[in-house]
Amino acid sequence: MATALAIALWLVSLLPFVLVQHQLATALVQAVLMVGLVVIAWRKQRPERWELLAFSLAWAILYAVWLVSGQRLGLMCAQLVSAGMSIYVLFFARGARSPGRGKRQVPMIVAGVVIELCALLLMVPFFDADAFTSMIRNDEGADTAVAHEVQADGVDVTYDVSYGQDFPSSYLDVYHVADGAPTVVYVHGGDYCFGDKQFEKPAVLGAYGGTGSRDGYFAYLEAYLAAGYNVVSINYALTPEYRYPTPLIQLSEAMTYLGKNAQSLGLDMDDVTLIGSVTGANIVGAYALAQSDVSYALWLGLPNDFANGKIRAVVLNSGVLDNGGLSNTHNWVMDYIGDACVRSYFNTATMNGAEGLNQSNIITQTRTSFPPTYLSDGSVKSFADQAELFSRRLDALGVTNELHIYEGQGNGFMFSGSDAAAQDIVSQIAFVDQFAK
């Protein structure tokens, strides 16, 4: 029984680094397992009972330090104590040293080494978010000289137009249908550490199950082109090299560039719809708020040059409207990655009280002058709770909005080619048409 509890404790010691939204739950499981080991040792009057009690108390104190102070070193040390208690029971306590157990312990030792290696790997994003985001970030679509083509459907495309000199990845693509048509400006997502404006690229599409140029991102924006909108898709610098609010500043620079060069690009920048997906929705939401509320623009230090109704509508796809919830999708892989990326983006060890977190919270900062808004998300593994909360906030402020939550769909489903995606794009365009044409 003690052996089984010790193995379970060893495995559970890894979970706080993976299930970042359930650390209290894993702590409760650990506490139960530790108490079980202590009780067994005490009932059998084993000499190691005092050592096990000491392990348990040390773990509890270190975990309390982590909870109170938010110092990640406290959690790391607590989990090392937990793993140490397991190792002690399995290999060094009197029962573990009994004759004949040596050969039987070899597989356990091998498994233990594997577990500890996994623990070290899992700790990388927990303690060094920048190192992790550097590993997973992509620099697809490396910006090159301006390129131009006319697609088979007659859309005139200009790639890699430079809109600024202050930051890397300050490039945009223009998909031109007709002079004077309303303009869609699209901002991609990617947890602030990956993603690209070249949405038709297979490597980008693969993240959403796309297989070709008519799938995924391109199929989504192609629907806007077919509906008579000119489309601009922008790139921005990624974390860890460039943090909040750099992408927001770059969106502002891109909009200023488009406004000054609207005639030569054939764009109507007095009739703009902003679209953002996932973390791109946060960037779009903050910019739209800055253009609709001068006090927020001053707080961010952004120009207020697209005020007076030039932004006709906003579309937020699977939007991260509160960055504090980026690691709360109820999917441990997405939460694991999101936790590291958002901490890197805000350059903080813990999101509690992180500088910029309140400022970037679109839900709480939005004012009555916010543009009409379309909110779309899936019901699983995404941010539907944030969309619902924002919709209620907009209702209270008297801001026109539509909320669409699709049952059984996940994060970014609108790029999946599913029936729900097809239904949603029709609803989106119908909403935008009310204000942009």
C-beta separation of 424 from 412 below 8 A: no
Tens digits of residue pLDDT in 43-81: 887 878 888 888 889 888 888 887 777 666 677 788 788
Residues near 19 by Cβ (< 8 Å), separated by ≥ 6? 25, 26, 332, 335
C-beta separation of 344 from 132 below 8 A: yes
Question: In 10 A of CB 96, how many CB atoms?
Answer: 18
- Measure the CA angle with vertex 223, ends 428 and 271; round to 5°: 65
pLDDT of residue 139: 55
pLDDT of residue 207: 40
| Domains assigned to the chain | 2-127 (no CATH), 145-436 (3.40.50.1820)
Angle between helices 419-436 and 216-226 (to 10 degrees): 40
Nearest CA-CA partner of 167 in 233, 241, 232, 240? 241
pLDDT of residue 200: 38
C-beta separation of 241 from 130 below 8 A: no
Cα–Cα distance for residue pair 294/302, rounded to 1 Å: 9
pLDDT under 50: residue ranges of the chain = 97, 101-102, 140-142, 200-214
Q: Look up the pTM and report it.
A: 0.76
Residues near 270 by Cβ (< 8 Å), separated by ≥ 6? 310
